[in-house]
Every structure is written in structure tokens, then in C-alpha cells.
Amino acid sequence: MTLAAPRPGDPRPGPRPAGTGPEGTEPARAALAAARAARAADLDRRLGSLLTAGPSGDGTVRPPAEGVALAAVGSHARRELTPGGDLDLVLLHRGRADVAEIADRIWYPVWDSGLRLDHSVRTVDEARAVARDDMKAALGLLSPRWIAGDAALVDELRSAVLSDWRADAPARLPELAAMCRERWDAQGELAFLLEPDLKEARGGLRDVHVMQAVAASWVASAPGERVRAAHDLLLDVRHALHEVTGRSTDRLVLQEQEAVARALGFLDADALLRAVAEAARTITYASAHLWHRVTRITTAQPRGRVERRPVGDGAVEHEGEVVLARGADLNDPALVLRVAAAAAQAGLPLAPATVARLAEHAALPGEPWPAAARDALVSLLGAGPAAIGVWEALDQAGLIVRLLPDWERVRNRPQRNPVHRFTVDRHLVETAAGAAALTRDVARPDLLLVGALLHDIGKGWPGDHSTAGAVVARDIATRLGFPEEDVAVLETLVRHHLLLPETATRRDIDDPVTVQTVTSAVSAVPGREREIVDLLAALAVADGAATGPAAWGAWKAGLVAELARRAAAALSGGTPPPAPVLGPGLLSLVRHDGAAVRVAGSRITIAAPDRPGLLWRAAGVLALHRLAVKSARTMSSPSSPSSSEGSGETAVLDFTAVPEFGSPPDPAGLEADLRRMLAGRLDVAGRLERRARSVRGRPGAGAAPPRVMIVDDASRTATVVEVRAHDRPGLLWRIGQALGACGLRVRAARVDTLGAEAVDVFYVVDENGRPLSAADDLDAVRTEILASLR
């Protein structure tokens, strides 16, 4: 039995071509399943006849064997014996003296037939003792299947082994977990191997059998329908591999993949590998959650009421997993990504039931995405390695393709290159996770993270993947709601993501033409050239590290860094942005005599006589009300003539702040506290310290360390301090306190939170109104700010 693509940039990809998935393989697979069932039935008849009555050596008829039973374990017990599989049999008896003779009349005919046989002869007590001492034996003896003889013996064995297994689960399951980890380390992850071991690699057949054994302990549920379907696919591939090769092998090597694909009815070897990868990832995901549950149960200490700790807006931690908060709004288009980001930032898995509920009931963002959804996506990617498992959870539920339809074309796509460790989609997520550690190196961490996620998106299309990917990236970035200029930056990043590593390793970087090649390529977005070079340099590091050790090393990293440095130097000399202009609304506040506060949704504006510490005290009040500052701008204007202050200036603070979680604070209460702060009647520092002591660990513990930079030549009248850090409650308060401790006044500030990363710029002067110049003073500012953020 022999077993059309849309244009790049289309808002939706076309359907997967026929034959690329398992849908068209049903006839071939049904035939293999029928062949296994028929073979199991035939083996049972033949083996049974060897145990029961038959002619003896002297021509007489043997009586039926009593007090003895033949049982199958392993693949034959499951009726899954493939052509190259081993037959595993146990002969049980009740102390019969002639059991060796009975065994010989079974084993020798099996050996003569050419079958590979693993056999043992035991009493029930002996088999039970072996199962207690030998983990591999225990896994088989949990589910023996009667073939012939005394069925009660098989029932007794199964009952005894299961009873011991359940009683000893707290000790046996950690032992089983350790065995699995050793096997995974040795065999790798099936979904991402060019020549995977279908049985022993992580996500392979062995893991499903282990999951069934764990379920037998009553600690977790049996594998669900999707896992069973994935198991059956891998079993069919193994069966076809044995038929194609004519030998017992579980490794799907490159030279056999086309033949196995044809035998199963797949279009080609790539289609086969995509199906294998999808099945393996389904098993791996389910296995990871099973072991998370096992660990929690076997290591849990006795406790009282289970706590639910908020980890984000709409998300709470419950028994080591992130679940939906009771008041979560399923109609909020940002909810799915916000809950996913909260889980990743907290380093916790999403509960499978929560993922299923989100997939079935939650609204998804329309086009263009609202800013809240886009920020949540950036926060998810910015969590680093913790984002990978959460992304996988969304992918398993089909949410990634619904959020980013173009993802379908790279999902599970193999890369037939030994340099690459992962499928295309996993490589993209790994690159974004690696880029999270480099967000301190760029001014726009959000563009770095999204660019990393999309840099190879063109590999799902014909032609050069960088050219095709740039078109797809422009389309995706537009749907995500990025401003047009940012869309152009992302398009440039994807188009030229190989520019620095290829140029640095193939050209003489001492030749001025080499640097000009780079500067010309990044000139597509005027005014953003230096920023694009920094982004390309960071992307090259993340891409190389995610590809594999053969693709990235110290030599290549050094060349790329030097080329980027020279290109950046050639692009230096830009002018700083103009000072912000007060609009009519802000001018009306400035004219207010004394202090004015306006709270309008997420926009909080304060106009008050300028004074040291005004910015960070106001930020502290917002933190007290559990508001996360997304942006802040400070401006100054001459005070009104009636002002009683002697400074002659009024400071205008314009915040955008959203609730950390739950409902927004009462606007009247927030305004009252701000006014009390302005009047000097609110102990902001004391209340924040008390709150900090009552809060447990915060998300983002694995984030890259903060960075403090003094930006030279950015201002003639102030020292410009730029702080890049992982956002957390009270961040602006902490930085402001540190600046105050250095005796500095904030003349202007531009605060932005991009996803979960803060990029804050402060124009500061000393007590005499002058910028800092001494190197020791600048070092002291850096040290004080970094200390405040630890």
C-alpha cells in the first residue's frame, strides 16, 4: 500500500496543504492498527496452545496445566506489539515443581519462530517482590494481561502490585521522575530532533506509559484524548519504521523518513516530522503538568486553608499554578495575554483548566490590537525562559494561531539543518526568551522582543525568508497596533536580522565600505538608525544563542559587537528631542492658584509649585493605591502671579497608571491622598514600607539586572540619567528616593513602561541648579540607584 500558499503579507495564512498533517493518513494508519490487533490475537492463540493440553514427547496427551498462568506485559499486554518489538511474557505458578518443563515448552517454540523474547517465571509473591525492587519491572507488572491458564493468578498479581504501588507512591514517584529526567537528558526532546528516538526521547511513547503508571497510583488522572491520539500516531510511525527497515529500531533516521512518510500516507518527510513534533509536544506538555502535580502532592506539607495570591490583573496563584481570578472579565480582549504574562512573570505554570476556559470562552483582541493586549504580549515575552512553558500552554490550546494566524505556517516546521536545535516556531520563542536578557542594551525593549519573535517568520513562505518575513512582520506589527514608524522598525529588523553576523564574518570590518553597508541598510527609518543598529546587535546575540553552540561563539560575538559599535559611532551626532509643550488643558491647571489635581480614568495630572521630591512622592501615592505607572511626563511652567511660592515655577506631572490587579481605586480617595501629599500631611514613605513588608515575592525575579547610564551630550543644562529595569510596584518611587538621597532635583522626566520593562529618563541638577560633571559624583548616582533597586 502506498501509503497552495497565500502571498506574504496576507492577513490570514491559507490552510495547511493536503497531506502535511495526519488528517489524510487514516487508511494507512487504520491498516497498521488492524495488523497489530490481528497479530496480538494470533500470538495469544499460539501461546495459549503451548500452555494448555497438547501432545507430549511420548505421544500421550498432556493434562491442562493447573496452578499456572501465562501473562503478557509491556507492548503485547497493550496489544501494541510492532514488527520489531520484543515479546515480554511472565509465567506465573503456585509452586509447581514442573514449572521449568512448562516454561521450556513455551519459550523454545517462541525462540524458534524468530521472535525476540523477554521472559520470567515467578510466583505471585516473587513477582511482587521484584516489582518493589525494580522500577522497570514494576511498570510492566502494573498492567499484566492474561493469555492462558489460571486467570485468578494474573488477577492476584495485578491487585498486589497495584496495592503496593499506591501505598509506596510518595517514594516511588520521585524515583520514577528521576529516571525520566535521566532518560530525557540522554535522549533529548523528540519534537526538536532531526533523528528522534520515538520511544525513549522526551515526548515519546515511553512518557505516555509512565503517565499511565502515575495514574495507576491515583495521584493524577489518566492521559486524556489528545495524549492518546498523539501516542497512537507515534506508535503508527514506529510500526511503519519497523516495516520499512525490516529491523527493530526506534530511531527515525534521515534516510528512512521519506519511506516512512510514504508508508503512512504523508506528503513528504517534512509533513511527517511536523506531525511527529506536534504529537511529541502534546505529550511533553501533558507530562510536564503531570509531574508538576506529582511534585506538589508528594512534597506538600500539612496546611490549613489554601491561599489564593494575586499575581496580576485577573490572575491569582492557586496551589502552585496560575488560575483566573473570580472577577476576571472574559470579555476583556487583553485577558488571555495578561493572565499568560502574569504566570510567566511569576515563574508559574498556567493551570490546564484555566487555559481550556480561556480558549473556549475568552475574547481575543480585534485588529488593531488595543494597547493593553500588545503590552501584555511584550510582558509575556519579557519574562525570559519562563515564557516558553506558558507560550506552549497557549499553543497547545490553539490560542497562539488564533492570536497570530501567520504562526500556523511556522508551527512545528522542521529545520533540516544540524546547526538548529529547534523547530522554527520554538526557535522564535527561544530567541524572544533569550532577548529578554538583553533588554537593558536597547532603548526599545518592546521592539526587540517582538522583532525576536518574528525574525524567522518568513520561513513559512517560499523564497528568501528575510525578504518574505519582512512583509509578514509588517502585516503582523500593524495588526498588533504599533505606530507606523515602529512598524517600519520591526520590518527593518526582520529584513536585516542577519546583516550584522553575515557582514561581520564575511567582510573586512576595517574597510569603511563595510560600515557603510550597515548604515545604509538601517536608513529606511530616518532618525531611528542608531536605535535599529542596537536592536540588530541584540537580536543577533539572541538568535545565535537560540540556534545552537555551532552557530554562536565568542569569536563571532566579538566581530558582531565591534561592527555594531563602529556603525553606531558613524551614526552618532543626532539632536535631542524638543522639550514638551503644555497643551490648553495643562495650562489651565497651571493657572490654578496653589496646587491642582485631576484624575480622569488612567490619566492623573498634578500641577503644583515645584519642590524637591515632588515626582517620586506622587509616584509613591500611586503605588499606595496599587496603580502601576505606565508612563510619566514632567514639565515646568512659570507660576501664576498669585502663587505664594517663591520658586517661580510650577511643576506639571502627567501620569498614565493602571491597576496592578482588581478594580481601579476610588478616584476621590486617590485625589484626596494626592492633595494630602502636596500639603505635607501624608507619610508616603512609611506607608509604602509597611506595605512592602506585607507583600511576598514579586514577579520578575529572573529578569535581567537593572542598568543605569549617564547619557553624555544630551543636555547642556542638566545631567541625563537613564534607568532600564524590570517594572515592579513602586519602581519610580525607589529611583526618585535615590536621586533625592544624592541631593539631586528632577527638572524633567520621561518614564515609559514597555511591556514589563521600564525605560526611565531623568534630567537632574544639583542643589545649585547645575548639571553634574565630576566622575565621582556620577558614579555615586549610579551606585545609589542600583542599590535602591536590589
pLDDT score of 585: 62
The cell numbers describing 413, all together, are 516546521
Find, among 740, 741, 705, the residue nearest to 723 by Cα.
705
**Helix or strand run (H / E) with residue 631:** strand 627-638
Amino acid at position 446, single letter: D
SS3 603: strand
Whether 436 shows a pLDDT value over 70: the answer reads yes
The cell numbers describing 325, all together, are 481570578
CA dihedral 435, 438, 444, 448 (to 10 degrees): -20
Better-scored residue on pLDDT, 136 or 637:
136
Range 174-188 average pLDDT: 95
Find, among 733, 723, 722, the residue nearest to 614 by Cα.
733
Using CA atoms, how far residue 344 sits from 315, 337, 341, 444, in Å, is: 11, 10, 5, 21
Better-scored residue on pLDDT, 738 or 62:
738
Q: Which long-range contacts (C-beta less than 8 Å, at least 24 apart) are formed by 523-526? A: 524/488, 524/491, 524/492, 525/485, 525/488, 525/489, 525/492
Range 132-155 average pLDDT: 94
Range 770-784 average pLDDT: 91
pLDDT, tens only, 227-254: 999 999 999 999 999 999 988 899 999 9
Contacts of 289 (CB under 8 A, 6+ apart): 349, 352
CATH of 170-299 among 1.20.120.330, 3.40.1180.10, 2.60.40.10, 3.30.70.260:
1.20.120.330
Find, among 70, 29, 612, the residue nearest to 264 by Cα.
29
The cell numbers describing 719, all together, are 545631567
pLDDT score of 554: 87
What's the rounded Cα separation, in Å, for the pair 362 and 498? 38
User: Global pTM?
Assistant: 0.86
Give the pLDDT band of residue 588 (cuts 50, 70, 90). low
Whether 652 shows a pLDDT value over 90: the answer reads no
What's 350's DSSP letter? B
pLDDT score of 5: 37
pLDDT score of 742: 92
Q: Around Cβ 506, how many Cβ atoms within 10 Å?
A: 9
Range 686-710 average pLDDT: 72
Q: What percentage of the chain exceeds 90 in pLDDT?
A: 60
SS3 303: coil
**Max CA separation in the chain (angstroms):** 127
pLDDT score of 497: 96
pLDDT score of 572: 74
Whether 55 shows a pLDDT value over 70: the answer reads no
Find, among 378, 319, 385, the residue nearest to 350 by Cα.
319
Judge contact between 76 and 43, C-beta under 8 A.
yes
Q: Alpha-carbon torsion 307, 308, 310, 316, what sign?
A: positive
Using CA atoms, how far residue 445 sits from 240, 437, 452, in Å, is: 48, 10, 10
pLDDT, tens only, 190-236: 999 989 999 999 999 999 999 999 999 999 889 999 999 999 999 99
Range 578-603 average pLDDT: 66
pLDDT score of 702: 63
Q: Around Cβ 301, how many Cβ atoms within 10 Å?
A: 4
Q: Around Cβ 706, how many Cβ atoms within 10 Å?
A: 18
Range 524-552 average pLDDT: 92
Which CATH architecture best describes the domain 584-789? 2-Layer Sandwich (3.30)
Judge contact between 248 and 84, C-beta under 8 A.
yes
The cell numbers describing 399, all together, are 490560542
pLDDT, tens only, 391-402: 999 999 999 999
Find, among 573, 378, 535, the residue nearest to 442 by Cα.
535
The cell numbers describing 361, all together, are 470562552
CATH 3.30.460.10 fits 65-167, yes or no: yes
Give the pLDDT band of residue 654 (cuts 50, 70, 90). confident
pLDDT, tens only, 353-377: 999 999 999 999 999 999 999 999 9
What's 197's DSSP letter? B
Judge contact between 341 and 383, C-beta under 8 A.
yes
pLDDT, tens only, 7-54: 344 433 344 433 445 567 899 999 999 999 999 999 999 999 988 755
Per-chain mean pLDDT for the chain: 87
Give the pLDDT band of residue 574 (cuts 50, 70, 90). very low
pLDDT score of 645: 35
The cell numbers describing 454, all together, are 518574528
